[in-house]
């Protein structure tokens, strides 16, 4: 199952109205959460991605309080806005003490205008509600986003980390082009709970965290994370959990190596095989190049079955979020 570096990443239908590259580029880590980053290298990484057809670019205000959007905006100014399928999000706010969900129509309208200014464009291709506000009916939040779409500020709408009921209600209010949720070999619940609903409704599934914050690269060795690294507070990366998880990762590395793949490529190919579009982050061009090779990897039924046995749902120790962030996820 040898893979070669594709000259240009193939395209897939995310929804009836939106074709995207078979994997995208998540730009969260370019702003914060995983230690220091280099803005110049981040811009160069986005440019490299688009050059090779990875043109589904995902960002949000939440990532660095707008810094990620600013970095993407600088890249777009050099690349050309028309070459990118651009996604951003609204409805999740930064505060002095943490994070606050705000799905009120007025705040959504203002937040989107602010995002567009940072991105240096008059519209995005895909606008997500970043989190469902438990204090605001999802119909009101999506209704405000639909008004923005009608005004030409967003081509299509989506929703992030929504449960089945909210997803159905959002879709009934305005067609959802995509649901974005964490999904990987270590976070497999959506395979059972959300992917079937997306298939039923014709909604694309975008998988963030397809490499489980670096765990599924095989390059983490110990729980030594700085204060500016979100993994320092996540249960899955606590010392005891990480020790157990790395034992499974070691077996997965050997499984991938036997098929002439890196673990990252195997993990991304697995997500693609589920009918989802992964948006792995990349801190530099080397990581990007490794990841994009996964777009042309086809895992046969026997390989997929063996992975089901090796890493079934629940095999990884520790929750994916710590309590403050878990409380923002719609159930």
Residues taking part in catalysis? 63
Q: Give the separation between CA 257 and CA 263, rounded to whole angstroms.
A: 8
Give the alpha-carbon dihedral of 305, 308, 309, 310, to 10 degrees.
120
Name beta bridge partners: 90. Answer: 129
Contact status, residue 177 vs residue 15, Cβ threshold 8 Å: yes
Give alpha helix (H) positions in the chain.
39-51, 67-79, 105-119, 138-150, 164-173, 189-193, 195-201, 239-257, 263-273, 285-292, 301-310, 323-326
Q: H or E element: which one contains 176?
A: strand 176-182
CA–CA dist 14, 326 (Å, integer)? 27
Cα–chain center distance at 245:
21
User: Which among 254, 236, 89 is positioned nearest to 160, based on CA atoms?
Assistant: 89
DSSP 123: -
Distance from C-alpha of 13 to C-alpha of 15, rounded to nearest angstrom: 5
Q: What is the DSSP letter of 7?
A: S
Helices (DSSP H) in 8-154: which residue ranges?
Answer: 39-51, 67-79, 105-119, 138-150
Residue 75 contacts residue 121 (beta carbons within 8 Å): no
Q: Name residue, tokens 């969260």.
A: 28
């Amino acid at each position: 199952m040898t893979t070669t570096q594709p000259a240009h990443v193939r395209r897939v239908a995310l929804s009836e109205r939106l074709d995207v590259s078979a994997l995208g580029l998540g730009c969260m880590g370019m702003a914060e959460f995983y230690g220091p980053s280099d803005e110049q290298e981040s811009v160069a990484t986005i440019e490299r991605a688009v050059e090779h057809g990875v043109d589904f670019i995902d960002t949000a205000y939440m990532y660095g309080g707008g810094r990620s959007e600013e970095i993407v905006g600088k890249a777009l100014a050099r690349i050309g806005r028309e070459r990118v399928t651009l996604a951003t999000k609204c409805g999740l706010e930064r505060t002095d003490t943490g994070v606050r969900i705000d799905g009120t129509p007025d705040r959504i309208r203002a937040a989107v205008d602010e995002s567009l200014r940072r991105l240096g464009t008059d519209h995005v291709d895909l606008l997500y509600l970043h989190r469902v506000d438990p204090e605001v009916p999802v119909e009101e939040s999506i209704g405000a986003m639909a008004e923005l779409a009608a005004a030409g500020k967003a081509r299509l709408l989506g929703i992030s980390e929504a449960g089945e009921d909210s997803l159905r209600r959002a879709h009934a209010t305005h067609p959802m082009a995509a649901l974005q949720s964490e999904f990987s070999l270590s976070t497999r619940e959506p395979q059972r709970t959300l992917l079937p609903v997306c298939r039923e409704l014709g909604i694309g599934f975008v998988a963030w965290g397809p490499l489980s914050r670096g765990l599924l690269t095989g390059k983490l060795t110990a729980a030594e994370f700085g204060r500016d690294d979100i993994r320092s507070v996540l249960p899955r990366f606590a010392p005891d959990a990480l020790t157990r998880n790395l034992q499974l990762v070691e077996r997965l590395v050997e499984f991938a190596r036997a098929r002439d793949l890196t673990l990252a490529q195997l993990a991304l190919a697995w997500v693609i095989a589920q009918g989802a579009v992964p948006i792995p982050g990349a801190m530099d061009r080397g990581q990007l190049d490794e990841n994009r090779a996964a777009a042309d990897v086809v895992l046969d039924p026997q390989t997929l079955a063996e992975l089901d046995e090796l890493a079934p749902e629940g095999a990884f120790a520790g929750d994916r979020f710590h309590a403050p962030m878990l409380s923002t996820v719609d159930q």
